[in-house]
Structure formats: structure tokens, C-alpha cells
Amino acid sequence: MPLTTATVDALAAIVGPERLLTQAEDLIPYSFDGTAALKQRPDAVVFPRRTAEVAECVRLAGTAGVPIVTRGSGTGLSGGSVPTAGSMVLCLVQMNAILDLDPRNLTLRAQPGAVTQRIDEAAARHGLFYPPDPGSMRISTIGGNVAENSGGLRGLKYGVTRDYVMGLEVVLPGGEIARFGNQCVKDVAGYSLKDLFVGSEGTLGIITEVLLKLVPRPAARRTMLALYDRIEDAAATVSAIVAAHIIPCTLEFLDRVTAICVEDYAHVGLPTDCEAVLLMETDGHPAVVADEAAQMEALARQHGARDVRSARDEAEALQLAAARRNAFSALARKRPTTILEDVTVPRSELATMVRFIADTAVSFNLQIGTFGHMGDGNLHPTFLADERDAGEMHRVHDALEAIVTRTLELGGTITGEHGVGLAKKPWLRQQMGDASLELMRQIKRTLDPRGLLNPGKIFD
């Protein structure tokens, strides 16, 4: 059912007509996020500026029975912010203020539309650090990061977004404004409800403010590239580093296809003639960094690295990491449709999984570029295909089934950092089992009995 004129007028009264979009040319660009091949035009887009406006929009949607899809910059990779039919998009990019940075408590308070990189830049001005660095950090919003529990290149040592969320302000499906958490390092009062909303993908409430933990900025950093002729050797190096009780900040893996595409885009001197590249980074106290870098280099060489190179300076290190963050999009150079997966396995199973993906590509006659966060077991096999070729898309689907099944057999998860959204929904039951899935449904029904918040995401 399309939005009625009365509802549109009421929305305009809440946010002002200049913050409401209803024209086709304005809505089409809000039909998608960063996920391939998913598209649905919403009926309206609103840009609230305050929590109170969000709450009013939610109440109005409740009265009118209109589904709400919350959105930031629309860079999600599982279709979490792709609109549903007849929905209104609540776009929070105008609520983008960094409200407060408390250097005594090492916390930062921000509105949900604040861009991730701005948050780290604000922290850096105080010698502090906000580590989670999803690939899209230059434009992704913190609200979206929290809602999807985004990861990034530094997950291995620093964890993911959840590990930095100390508190949240959330507009609940009934329009109530609730606050969870505080600046206390320890807090065991009641259920940890903030954790319910981290990674809830906009299905339980709308995050309108976040309180984040910051850590001291590391004093030193070393970035290295190890080059391999065999993928398994790269995986073995990662296992050896972890077994040597070194937790580097980053251990990123790129296969040959990915390295070629990234180099084609970024021109940062990535080798394109080897089967695997490991981007290794250690940070912290200068003495520790020097020691760990030497050990990592030695381990890489012992495990078959053809060459190990160090970044000349900070600028080159930053360039390499930035180039790696664009790996997914750079793969789109090869074929028209890029389907990105996010399977994650226990680190001990990495070599098995990487080999399985390579074999799958061969047996299904598909092109797959694989990259990922090898240090934390999070891989991104990316299918390079063309959505206009039905036969190929069918093979992609079958190959995906095979990869997911193998991932779960190895004790892994269907999504390490992108969320379930629409893209991973078909496999959630397979991973979670009936009881867990039913419990999630009960929670959803309890909080949002009418199912108006981001309906059809995570599960039906």
C-alpha cells in the first residue's frame, strides 16, 4: 500500500518539507545499498535532525502502518538497508554531530550519522584511537556500523564495533526513547540490552546516539607485504604467527585476481605475479613493534614466502591499507556483477577453507576472487559474474551453497562482519538451528509486534 497523502503531509510537518523526498528521481537513488543485485524503491525518504523527530516519525509510521527502513550512507553489504515495498526510509545522515569527547574517561559520544573516519580523526586529535575500520569507513556512518556490528582490517587484535559500544540511545518501535549503558568500564546492572541492539540491523529499534570506547593511539606501526607462490603457504604463515603468540593488528590476504584488480586501481606496487599476498601490520610500543615485525618476517620466510617487503614510510603503509579496503569494489573491474561473501571459519581451518574455495571455482567453472582478514578467519570470496547470464548465476548459487555448507561443517559462520540482511537470510536457519532462530523471532515480536522496523531482514 503506497503512502497516503495524509501520511506524507504528516511527515512533512515533522521534519519540514525540505527534508522529505517523494519524487521518483529522488527515490530511485535510495533503492539500494552497497549490495549487488538488490533493489526496491521506497515510497518516501525522510531526513530527521533530532531524536525527537525520529520518535515522531516512528509513531506516525506505527499509526499509518508504514514499514521503516533505517539508513545511513547505504554502504551495507548484505542488503540491510535496501527498502522494502511501500516503506519509508529514515535516513540519518543529517544527524552527524560528534557530540563530545571525554579524554578523562576515554569515550566519545556521537549521533548515528557521524562518518566512521571522522570519529577516528576526532579521537586522533587527543592521541586516542577508534580502531574498527570497515572498508567503507570514509563514508559509512557509525549508526550503520553499530546496527551491523561492522568489523574491519583490525579485528584480529582490536575486535569489532561491538567491543567499542559502551552505550546507546535507541528509539523503540513504539516511539519511546530508551538509553542503555554509560561511561562506566564495569556495569552489570540488568541485561546488557545495548548488546541486543548492536548488530540488530535496524529490526529492533533506531539508534539515535552512540557512546564509544576509545583506546590510546599506538605509538608505532610497521606494515609489510609477504608474497607467496602457494595460497596454502600464506595460510600456514598466519597459523604460525598466531601459534607464536603474536597478535598483529592486521593480517590481510589477497589472492592473485584480487591483487591484480587492486593494483590496477590503486597503483601502490602490489605484486601481480604471485598466488597470494599477505598484508601484515603490527602496532603498539616501538620496541614491541620492531620485535614482532622481525618475528613475522622470519615466520613468513620459513613458511615459503618468496619475498617480504616493508612499507617505506607511514604514507606507503596508509596507501597499502587504503588499497586493500577497496578490494571488493576493485574486483568489479573484471565482470559486471560482483557477489561478495563473508564466510568465516575458526583460524585453524583457514587453509582448508581457502583451498576449498579455489577448488569450488574450478568445479563450478566460475571466477572467484578471494581476499579477507586471514588473521581472524574472515574470508571474502567474491564471485565475478554477469547477472544477465542465467546459467552462470545458477552456478554461482550452487557454488555458494557448497561454500556455506563447508563453512558450517568447519564450525564457521555465514557472515563475519556484513550482517544477514537479505543476502544471507536463506542460510541462517542452517547455521543457528530451530531453537535459536525461534528465540530471535520471539525477541523481534516482543519489541516490534507489528513488524514495522526493517521487515524481512535477518529472517522472515
Partner 1 sequence: MRTTLKTIDYAVLQQCMHCGMCLPTCPTYDATGRERNSPRGRISLMRAIADGDLEVTTTFADEMSYCLGCLACQTACPAGVNYAVLFETARSDIQAANVDTSAKRRFWRALTLRFLFMRPSALHAAGRLLRLYQATGLEALARRTGLTRLLPPDLRRLEPQAPAVAARFSAALVAAHERPAGPVRARVALLTGCIQDLVFPDINRDTADVLLANGCEVDTPRDQPCCGSLHAHNGEIDMARTLARRLIDLIPPESYDAIVSNAGGCGSHLRHYGSLLADDPAYAVRARLWDQKLRDIQEWLVDLGCRQPAAAPFDAPTSVTYHESCHLVHGQKISRQPRTLLRLLPGVTLSELPESSWCCGSAGIYTLTQPDQAEKLLKRKVGHIATTGAEIVATANPGCHLQIARGLNDAAAGVRVMHPVSLLAAAYRRETTTCAAASRPGSSSSPPP
CA 264, 265, 269, 271 dihedral sign is: negative
Smaller CB separation from partner 1, 105 or 326: 326
Nearest CA to 284 out of 246, 316, 322 is that of 246
Report DSSP letters for 216-253, one per residue.
EPPSEEEEEEEEESSHHHHHHHHHHHHHTT---SEEEE
Q: Measured between alpha carbons, how far is 447 from 444 in angstroms, rounded to an integer?
A: 5
Question: What binding mask, one character per residue, do residues 165-204 give for partner 1 by CB under 8 A, x or -?
Answer: ----------------------------------------
CA distance 329 to 327: 6
Question: Which residues on neighbouring strands pair with residue 383, listed in sequence order?
Answer: 339, 368
* 30 binds partner 1, rule: CB under 8 A: yes
Does 312 bind partner 1 (CB under 8 A)? Our answer is no
Q: Is 253 in the site for partner 1 (CB under 8 A)?
A: no
Whether residue 349 contacts residue 377, with contact meaning beta carbons closer than 8 Å, is answered with yes
Candidates 9, 13, 17, 28; binder of partner 1 (CB under 8 A) is 28
Q: Where are the beta strands (DSSP E) in 2-95?
A: 20-21, 44-46, 68-71, 88-91
User: Closest separation between CB of residue 393 and partner 1, Å?
Assistant: 13
Sole window of 25-33, 103-111, 362-370, 417-425 interacting with partner 1 (rule: CB under 8 A): 25-33
Q: Both ends of the chain: CA-CA distance in Å?
A: 19
How many angstroms separate the CA atoms of 129 and 121, rounded? 8
Q: Draw the binding track, 315-334, toward partner 1 (x: CB under 8 A; -: no contact).
A: -----------xxxxx-xx-
Question: Does 75 sit near partner 1 (CB under 8 A)?
Answer: yes
Please report how close the Cβ of residue 19 comes to partner 1 at its closest, in angstroms: 10
By C-beta, is 168 or 259 nearer to partner 1? Answer: 259
Helix, coil or strand: residue 436: helix
Report the candidate in 242, 233, 344, 340 with the shortest Cα–Cα distance to residue 278.
Answer: 233
Among 15, 20, 36, 311, binds partner 1 (CB under 8 A): 36
* Residue 413 near partner 1 by CB under 8 A: no
Minimum distance, C-beta of residue 221 to partner 1, in the bound complex (Å): 23
Residue of the chain from 5, 6, 25, 362 that contacts partner 1 (CB under 8 A)? 25
CB 351 within 8 A of CB 383: no
Task: Kindly determine how many residues on this chain lie close enough to bind partner 1 according to the rule CB under 8 A.
Answer: 41
338 binds partner 1 (CB under 8 A): yes
Return the number of the residue (75 or 360) whose C-beta is nearest partner 1: 75
What is the torsion angle, in degrees rounded to the nearest 10, for the CA atoms of residue 97, residue 103, residue 107 and residue 112? 10
Pattern 257-276, partner 1, x by CB under 8 A: -----x-xxx----------
Contact between 32 and partner 1 by CB under 8 A: the answer reads yes
Q: Do residues 93 and 74 touch, judged by C-beta distance below 8 A?
A: no
Least spacing, CB of residue 8 vs partner 1, in Å: 18
The residue ranges that bind partner 1 (CB under 8 A) are 21, 23-26, 28-34, 36, 47, 73-75, 93-94, 115, 136, 138-140, 262, 264-266, 326-330, 332-333, 336-338, 386-388
